[in-house]
A and B are shown apart, each in its own frame.
Chain A
Amino acid sequence: QKEVEQDPGPLSVPEGAIVSLNCTYSNSAFQYFMWYRQYSRKGPELLMYTYSSGNKEDGRFTAQVDKSSKYISLFIRDSQPSDSATYLCAMSGAGNTGKLIFGQGTTLQVKP
């Protein structure tokens, strides 16, 4: 079983829709949770970072962590064509070793 499972895509939504991207994990030691966005032919870029359970909001993006269920989500409100990309969840455990475990990514297409 993979440590991190991410909902498979691809996901296609109309402009303005609310998008929900999800990951589950099995390692209860994970404490740091991140979402990366990767445009075609580019490297991933850090989009959101959370440490504790709960919600974190940044503009149209909300990251949600539920440690009891080992479940994290990224919500995108009022989705735009520029949001079309692959979204990767990533997480790591305690200690500053720096090694992240990534999900396989969900490709999102927002149609105008």
Chain B
Amino acid sequence: EADIYQTPRYLVIGTGKKITLECSQTMGHDKMYWYQQDPGMELHLIHYSYGVNSTEKGDLSSESTVSRIRTEHFPLTLESARPSHTSQYLCASSEGSLWGYTFGSGTRLTVV
């Protein structure tokens, strides 16, 4: 069973709206990640965190922001959604590369 939870699972929202995608984990992992996944494409890292109050941008340019105020919580915010933000967003956590990632089930976002 999943120890990392993402909400909502599906979201359809209008252009210009502000949205926050939630991600929580119960494993006490310091490292957390947000990936964007489009069909047939590799996962693209958009944000990561190595601990509380630590956040970094990933390899893929993104207009989103993240915060890490508590170890277990790593929300992603889009201030003004656009159709180009339509994608699946996956949250993951790990103890480090030695242990692999545990992924959430993802949030499928559609911006109309």
A interface, CB within 8 angstroms of B: 2, 4, 6, 32, 34, 36, 41-46, 49, 88, 90, 92-93, 95-100, 102-105
Contact = CB atoms under 8 A, between A and B. Distances in A.
B97 interface: yes
B96 A97 contact: yes
8 contacts: A34-B100, A42-B105, A49-B100, A98-B48, A98-B50, A98-B96, A99-B48, A100-B101
A37 B56 CA distance: 27
B42 A97 contact: no
Residue of B42, B45, B102 contacting most chain A CB atoms (<10 Å): B42
Contact of A32 (B31, B42, B97, B106): B97
A102 B37 CA distance: 11
A43 B48 contact: no
Contacts of B45: 99
B41 interface: yes
